[in-house]
Structure 1
Amino acid sequence: MELNVQHAQPIKIRPLTIEDFGYVLNWSQDDSFCSANEWEKKRNKEELFRWWEGCVKRETDDFIRMGIEFEKRLIGYVDLACIKGKTAELGIAIGESDLWGNGIGVKSCLCMMEFAVKNLGITVFYAETHETNNRSRKMLDKIGFKEISRNGSETYLGKESQLIQYSCCIGGEL
């Protein structure tokens, strides 16, 4: 698979800032977002701020979280986790649930993958989602991820659901 990031909508990924906290606070008030991302509802503002501060200041070799900016506001974040050699796990959360289903997740993930390939030499990406999370599954399919396994059953949005693992290799076969 070759990466070709074209932006019909102006999406960019950028470092997180403390000043982004107001957006995060708004996401924490959105029941749909909290449920989908397994965030505690009605989260304490001070505890949420400490968590966000940790996200902004986090410096590790195996994890990168970038903000997703759309129309000059932070609307979510995209992660590279478990970075090891040429592999990483891709994760994403769109904080504004009214923007779900518009292709922003696809574009954001492609931007992060392009960043990872160019700056970190990553060529193999992994991801996972719940079987019942159809939006996430469609997004991964559009990007070029392939299902590689299914593990156990967990509760997601009140339903029993298998966790599905995916992989995507840039520039060759897995």
Structure 2
Amino acid sequence: MNTPSEQVFLRPLALPDVTTYASWGLDRRFCEHAGWTVDKPLPAHEAHWHELITHPKPDLIRLAAVAGTDLVGYVDLAGDEPNRRELGYVIGPSDRWGLGLGGSVARLGLEHGLRPSGPR
């Protein structure tokens, strides 16, 4: 894993992300804290993420959070009101917690949502 001191940035989700996000579903501690289903089989996580990426919900902007070359989380901007969104973020797997990534990712999510052109 690259160090959290490397630049963290947001980008659109991509199909190669499915493998990483689905693997976090095997981390019981992560699932319990993130509100994910515990003990769900890996293929079910893969199918879920594939669906989220190929058919995004119209009221959810989800962006991948990357540190260096590592996928380390995601940011959600939820809601369908033009000037109001709810910010959420996840850092995974749980062995990345406590490294300062959450604060960086949350700030990037706020910056994205507060751009003059608004959330995309």
Tell me, what secondary structure is at the counterpart of 1:40? coil
**Following the alignment from structure 2 to structure 1, what is the Cα–Cα distance between the partners of residues 70 and 55?**
21
Is the strand fraction higher in 1 or 2? 1
Q: Which residue pairs with 2:60 in the alignment?
A: 63
Q: Which residue pairs with 1:38 in the alignment?
A: 35
**Divergent runs of 4+, >3 A:** 58-61
Q: Which residue pairs with 2:46 in the alignment?
A: 49
Q: Is the 8 A contact 2:12 2:63 kept in 1?
A: yes
- TM alignment of 1:158-173, pairs within 5 A: none
1:60: how far off? 4.3
Identity of aligned residues (%): 28
Q: Which residue pairs with 1:121 in the alignment?
A: 118
Q: Is the 8 A contact 1:78 1:90 kept in 2?
A: yes
Give the direction of change, closer, same or farther, for the CA distance of 1:120–1:47 in structure 2 (3 Å limit): farther
**Following the alignment from structure 2 to structure 1, what is the Cα–Cα distance between the partners of residues 99 and 65?**
14
Gapped regions of structure 2 (runs ≥ 5)? none
- TM alignment of 1:1-174, pairs within 5 A: 8-118=5-115, 120-121=117-118
**Following the alignment from structure 1 to structure 2, what is the Cα–Cα distance between the partners of residues 18 and 107?**
24
1:119: how far off? 5.7
**Following the alignment from structure 1 to structure 2, what is the Cα–Cα distance between the partners of residues 41 and 108?**
24
1:36: how far off? 0.3
Gapped regions of structure 1 (runs ≥ 5)? 1-6, 123-174
Query: TM-score of the superposition, structure 1-length normalised?
Result: 0.60
1:61: how far off? 4.0
Larger of the two Rg values belongs to structure: 1
**Following the alignment from structure 2 to structure 1, what is the Cα–Cα distance between the partners of residues 114 and 21?**
28
Counterpart residue identity of residue 30, structure 2:
F
**Following the alignment from structure 1 to structure 2, what is the Cα–Cα distance between the partners of residues 104 and 79?**
15
The count of residues paired between Structure 1 and Structure 2 equals: 116
Query: TM-score of the superposition, structure 2-length normalised?
Result: 0.83
Counterpart residue identity of residue 44, structure 2:
E
